[in-house]
Amino acid sequence: MSETTEVIKELLESINVDGNYRTESLELLEKGESRYLRDFKVNFNSTLSSEHLSAKEIGLIGVSIAINNQNKPLLAYYTSFSEANGASAEEIAEAVACASLLASNNVFYRFRHFTQKEKYTQIPARIRMQIMMKPVTGKEFFELLSLAVSAVNGCEMCVNAHEDSLIKLGTTEERIFDAVRIASLITATGKVIY
């Protein structure tokens, strides 16, 4: 077994996927004996720890980003990781709900931002967002989830609004940065394992 195949097998098994499973992306990386796979494995493993986020929070970010990116293997992994680190069914459901709500918000507010037309800011959004008022995970963490999803979806207006809210809530920039870093690496993982 080549070193490349061994790295793929170890990574897949670490996320509870059969070591022989292959996506088109994995096949191409394996065939080309890509050195990237070592970085890929290290990057994925770095999503599992943080000096600024608890393991439960990391898992819930993983759930939200996996839902956002429609990634079944990563959703299963981060759901299990969340549960193993104390997340309740309600908290996991809220991470799912956040991804869904932010999908609509990110499209809508990105449209408003792109068009730069005053008229569109005067028309009511008519998007129900009651979950944001009293989140099970707490206001600060729901804002952090919202920021991470918004960063992945590329909504500048949403990223700025959620980051501003987090700073006003007393969240450190290191905590914000780590949430986005983890979201970016989960997204990168999903380009290869899906």
Q: Which residues are known to be catalytic?
A: 155, 158
The pair of three-digit structure tokens given for residue 136, joined into one six-digit string: 């099970």
Longest dimension (CA), the chain: 62
Q: Label residue 183 exposed, middle or buried (CB < 10 Å: 0-12, 13-18, 19+).
A: buried
117 in helix, strand or coil? coil
Which of 94, 86, 75 is closest to 139 using CA atoms?
A: 94
| Virtual torsion, Cα 92, 172, 134, 126, nearest 10 deg | -90
The HSE-up count of residue 78 (CA atoms within 13 Å, CB side) is 34
The answer to whether the CB of 131 falls within 8 A of the CB of 98 is yes
Rounded Cα gap, residues 139 and 157, in angstroms: 19
